[in-house]
Chain A
């Protein structure tokens, strides 16, 4: 195997694929990327046995061949090299040599036969989407997925296909984000859902180009994303996705409308003074004003800011984890956010005042229980002011 390539181009491709290499594994060859030169094309493949990614780039090939190269070592050295042409070739069958004008680096390789073969099973569904759409759907939901391994279904995004809709839903039980793309040319007659691992979607985001098309093939237990220069194959997450429709409240009768940028900036400031453990902020809402408070008893810190708002009820108080609240607001498009509330123990429904065409985006946030004492103390001190 022998080829030449510019450092920046090789590094770009390594950067796109390195995320699939497992952080910890007992199978040594999984720490490697499979490098394959075929005429003037280099294919790089990495896998953790659940997910595998192949990306291709043009090179100046002079000798075809395959080898399994330790991924992080390769990425580390290519990253540090100056942007010069590199020549890579196999040496004595078990080493990769990276040659620059000034020197050379030798990496011991693994037997290429050990690298796992990915058996792609048959796909039953196919759909084709613009990459912009895919990126948008993922970005609006991925922040809400759970990291809790004990609720495996929640560690992925739930992709739902309906006869004329495509939905992405993510939740960790504390917040939920649902985005619906309607008037969609769907390949299904009945509702189907698939839970895609977060790692797969992060790899997809890294590999997809803005003006790409994404071809998606789905089988019984796997999904394949076919891009122009990359293929991502992934197992789907087994298990039932919770009935999220049931927890979306329909009887939230209080409506709060606030400027999104103002609320976000205020929350970021006030939350600095919240307890580092709970991150709790307290919202006190009156017809024309929203007060956001926080306190960190440990450090004797307190913060309070008022912003104009429009609220359909007389008075309400509710507590949130400010990190979750900020996350949600960052994903609201447009000038104003609408927050529909019921009481201090129930989920809030949040959405932008203007939705994009053929799209409906909705998010839920569960409150933090506020203890009764501060509740009473607060309302009386409000009256005194």
Chain B
């Protein structure tokens, strides 16, 4: 049976939600991200409205640069809780069209409608109905790609943003891909493009026409993967619920920090937040990671795998702080610090004879969880976590 996959991508999601909740922002450039601080801010743009894109602003751009491009835009901090609430609503709509939904991020998902499209007429009709329902129930617009594989559906959804719908009929995949720039292929980045160009490959169609062993010779294993994609071959299935593999918390300082005690206090506070999130999601992990970005933007990660899964702030902190102590900053100040827990064990846990201390939630952690539940996430902090760290963004 011919597979039918939808890729749905919400248009400028965070900014669109802000414009939805604040009618006065509609039709105006809106930038969601770090505090620009009159051009001195240090974080990045997380999303911006289409009006702002006209000024050349895009996501992941330093906020100071966005400010330079358009100081009159409306700059707002992200409201994560509100976005995930809307995201929830949208995912629910997806599930009313097919049980096979693979969320990719907060505003993006793949749907396999091979078996359910017939209830809504054609695949194209299903996509139209879906867009209408999202519009009606949330007031937001989405762009949808319809194709026989995830890869092509993803490219298709991106072609006519915003509020787009692109259908690639089965059998027309190669034709559809051929005129597109090679950089649209998943995984082809600034390092691969020049290599391809050197061999006369500029469009996806150029790559599709090469012999696979030739491409492999130029680019190794990856080359073969790209060649397959270029020829419309992508048999990855829509995976219904991909479990999170790690959770992390990080902070960029308002000004670079070099005092070890302050760094430790920040780490302490990040560990509290992370441990809280882990417990909310019922995860326990064996690997604790530390991420550090120095003043010169060089970024490092260090990790340590423990003999048992941890969930308590103290245990995460003791490993993370040890990693920080061992890390040689070469006397540079720290711009960003983060902590992660990965290598999750089976949440339906087989209990352990020797780590019963860690399986049970630390009483202090439990107390903090309860206070946060009742009075909000900012209601309680450890004294050792210092005052609220000066962050430019979370």
B383 at the interface (CB under 8 A from A): no
A278 to B355, CA, bound (A): 19
- Give the shortest distance, in Å, between B360 (CB) and chain A (any CB): 9
Q: In the bound complex, what is the Cα–Cα distance between A131 and B353 (angstroms)? A: 32
The CA of A280 and the CA of B351, in the complex, are separated in Å by: 12
B33 to chain A, nearest CB (A): 40
Q: Which of A150, A173, A277, A345 contacts B354 (CB 8 A)?
A: A173
Q: Which residues of A contact B353 (CB under 8 A)?
A: 171, 173-174, 176, 244, 247, 347, 364, 366
Quick check: which of A218-226, A266-274, A367-375 contacts chain B, the rest being far away?
A367-375
Question: A277–B347 Cα gap in the complex (Å)?
Answer: 12
Cβ < 8 Å to A, chain B residues 308-366: 308, 346, 348-356
A148 close to chain B: CB less than 8 A: yes
- The residue in B306, B308, B351, B352 that gathers the most chain A C-beta atoms within 10 A of its C-beta is B351
B306 proximity list for chain A (CB < 8 A): 150
Contacts of A364 in B (CB 8 A): 353
Say yes or no: is A15 at the interface (Cβ < 8 Å to chain B). no
Q: How far is the CA of A367 from the CA of B306 in the complex (A)?
A: 22
Question: B100 to nearest A CB, angstroms?
Answer: 15
Instruction: Check if A93 is an interface residue, CB within 8 A of chain B.
Output: no
Given contacts A173-B353, A364-B353, contact A369 B307 (CB under 8 A): no
Interface presence of B305 (CB below 8 A): yes
Measured CB to CB, the nearest residue on chain B to A367 is B351
Task: Give CA–CA (A210, B355) in the complex, Å.
Answer: 40
Nearest CB in chain A: distance from B247 CB, A: 21
A151 near B: Cβ within 8 Å?
A: yes
A148 CB contacts on chain B under 8 angstroms: 307
- Check if A321 sits within 8 Å of B350, measured CB to CB: yes
Q: Is the CB of A174 within 8 A of B350?
A: yes
CB distance from B49 to the nearest CB of A (A): 43
Task: Name which of A171, A173, A347 has the most chain B CB atoms within 10 A of its CB.
Answer: A173
A345 to B351, CA, bound (A): 8
Summarize B's interface: helix, strand, loop or mixed.
loop
- The residue in chain B whose Cβ has the minimal distance to the Cβ of A345 is B351
Residue of A nearest to B306 (CB): A150
Contacts A174-B353, A247-B354: A371 and B348 contacting too (C-beta < 8 A)? yes
Nearest chain B CB to A282 CB, angstrom units:
12
Chain B residues with CB under 8 A of A116: none
Beta-carbon nearest neighbor of A321 in chain B: B350
Q: How many residues of B contact A (CB 8 A)?
A: 14
CB distance from A180 to the nearest CB of B (A): 18
- Asked if A242 is at the interface of the complex by the 8 Å CB criterion, the answer is yes
Nearest A residue to B308 by beta-carbon distance? A173
The answer to whether B348 touches A151 (Cβ under 8 A) is no
Kindly identify, within residues 233 to 271 of chain A, every residue whose CB is under 8 Å from any CB belonging to chain B: 242, 244, 247
B346 touches A277 (CB 8 A): yes
Contact A280 B354 (CB under 8 A): no
Q: How far is the CA of A367 from the CA of B354 in the complex (A)?
A: 13
Is A368 touching B307 in the complex (CB atoms < 8 A)? no
| Distance (whole angstroms) from the CB of B307 to the closest CB of chain A | 5
Cβ contacts under 8 Å, A174 to chain B? 350-353
CB distance from B7 to the nearest CB of A (A): 27
Residues of B within 8 A of A150 (CB): 305-307
Contacts of B351 in A (CB 8 A): 174, 345, 366-369
Convert A353-372 into 0s and 1s, putting 1 for each residue whose CB lies closer than 8 angstroms to a CB of B: 00000000000101111010
Whether the Cβ atoms of A368 and B354 lie closer than 8 Å is no
Residues 143-156 of A, flagged 1 when their CB comes within 8 A of B and 0 if not, give: 00000101100000
Bound: A368/B346 CA distance, A: 11
0/1 string, B354-387, CB within 8 A of A gives 1: 1110000000000000000000000000000000
Chain A residues positioned under 8 Å from B352 (CB to CB): 173-174, 366
Is the pair A278, B354 in contact by a Cβ cutoff of 8 Å?
A: no
Minimal beta-carbon separation of B286 from chain A (angstroms): 8
Q: Which of B349, B353, B356 has the most CB of A within 10 A?
A: B353
Alpha-carbon distance between A176 and B306 when the two chains are bound, in angstroms = 21
Contact A242 B348 (CB under 8 A): no
Report the bound CA distance from A280 to B100 in whole Å: 27
Which residue of chain A is the closest to B356 with respect to CB atoms?
A: A247
Residues of chain A within 8 A of B355, CB atoms compared: 173
A50 to B349, CA, bound (A): 35
The answer on a CB contact under 8 Å between A368 and B305 is no
Q: Say whether A369 contacts B305, CB under 8 Å.
A: no
Given A247-B353, A364-B353; A280-B307 close (CB under 8 Å): no
* Interchain CA distance A244-B305 in the complex, whole Å: 23
* Those of B94-147 within 8 Å (CB) of chain A: none
Q: How near does chain B come to A316, taking the closest CB pair, in angstroms?
A: 16
Q: Which residues of A contact B308 (CB under 8 A)?
A: 173
Residues of B contacting A173 with CB < 8 Å?
A: 308, 352-355
* Nearest-neighbor residue (CB-CB) of B348 within chain A: A278
**Contact of A278 with B346 in the complex, beta carbons under 8 Å:** yes
In the complex, what residues of A have CB within 8 A of residue B349's CB? 368-369
In Å, the complex CA distance between A7 and B256 comes to 75
Q: List residues of chain B with CB within 8 A of the CB of A244.
A: 353
Q: How far is the CA of A347 from the CA of B359 in the complex (A)?
A: 14
How far does the alpha carbon of A247 sit from the alpha carbon of B306 in the complex, in Å?
20
With contacts A150-B305, A150-B307, A151-B307 taken as known, whether A242 is within 8 angstroms of B354 at the C-beta atoms is: yes
> What's the nearest-Cβ distance from chain A to residue B37, in Å?
46
B243 to chain A, nearest CB (A): 12
CA A154 – CA B71 in complex, angstroms?
Answer: 62
Which residues in A have their C-beta under 8 angstroms from that of B348?
A: 278, 280, 368-369, 371
A366 vs B349: C-alpha distance when bound (angstroms): 10
Residues of A261-304 whose CB lies within 8 A of B? 277-278, 280
- The complex places the Cα of A278 from the Cα of B351 at a distance, in Å, of 12
A residues engaging B (CB < 8 A)?
148, 150-151, 171, 173-174, 176, 242, 244, 247, 277-278, 280, 321, 345, 347, 364, 366-369, 371
Other A-B pairs beyond A150-B306, A173-B308, A278-B346, 17, CB < 8 Å? A148-B307, A150-B307, A151-B307, A171-B353, A173-B353, A173-B354, A173-B355, A174-B353, A278-B350, A347-B353, A364-B353, A366-B350, A367-B351, A368-B348, A368-B351, A369-B351, A371-B348
Q: List 7 A-B contacts (CB under 8 A).
A: A148-B307, A171-B353, A173-B355, A247-B354, A277-B346, A367-B351, A369-B351
Interface residues of B (CB under 8 A from A): 305-308, 346, 348-356
Q: Which 10 A-B pairs have the closest CB atoms?
A: A366-B351, A247-B353, A173-B352, A151-B307, A150-B307, A242-B354, A368-B350, A173-B353, A173-B354, A369-B349
